[in-house]
Amino acid sequence: MSNTAAAQAPVQLPGPVQIPLVGWRTRGLRMLGDPAEYFMRQYAHHGQVSAWKPRNPRHVFAFGPEYLKRIFTEPEVFVADSFREVRIPEQSSFYRLTNGLLRRNGDPHRRHRRLMQPAFTARRVLVHRENVADVTERCLSEWRTGDVVPMHDALARIIMLTAMRTVFDIDAPERIERLQGLISRLLRVAAAPLTLLLPYDLPGSTFRAALRTCEQIEALLLEMIRDRRADGATGRDVLTSLVNAEDEDGSRLSEAELVGEAYTAFCHDSSTATLMWTLLLLDQHPDVMNDVVDEVTSVCGGGPPDDDQLGKLPLLDAVLKETLRLLPPAPMLIRYTSRPTRFGRYELPSGAMVFFSSYVTHRLEETYRDPLRFDPGRWERESPSTYEYLPFGAGAHNCVGRHFAMLEMKTVLAVLLQKFRPALVPDSRVDRAMRVSLVPSHGLPMRLHPPGTGTSPAPLRGNIRDSVRLP
What residues are designated binding site?
A: 399
Strands 341-343 vs 346-348: parallel, antiparallel or unpaired = antiparallel
Binding residues for heme, by number, are 399
- Quickly list DSSP for 91-156: TSHHHHHT-SGGG--HHHHHHHHHHHGGGGSTTGGGGGHHHHHHHHHHHHTT--TT-EEEHHHHHH
Q: How far is CA 98 from the centre of its chain?
A: 15
Buried b (16+ CB within 10 A) or exposed e, 435-459: ebbbbbbebbbbbbeebeeeeeebe
Contact yes or no for 447/148 (Cβ under 8 A): yes
CB atoms inside a 10 Å sphere around CB 12: 12
Contact yes or no for 346/13 (Cβ under 8 A): yes
Question: Helix 173-190 crosses helix 151-168 at what angle (to 10 degrees)?
Answer: 120
Of 106, 78, 65, the C-alpha closest to 341 is 78
Q: State which H helix or E strand residue 74 sits in.
A: none
Q: How far is CA 34 from the centre of its chain?
A: 16
Position 304, amino acid:
P
Q: How far is CA 126 from the centre of its chain?
A: 21
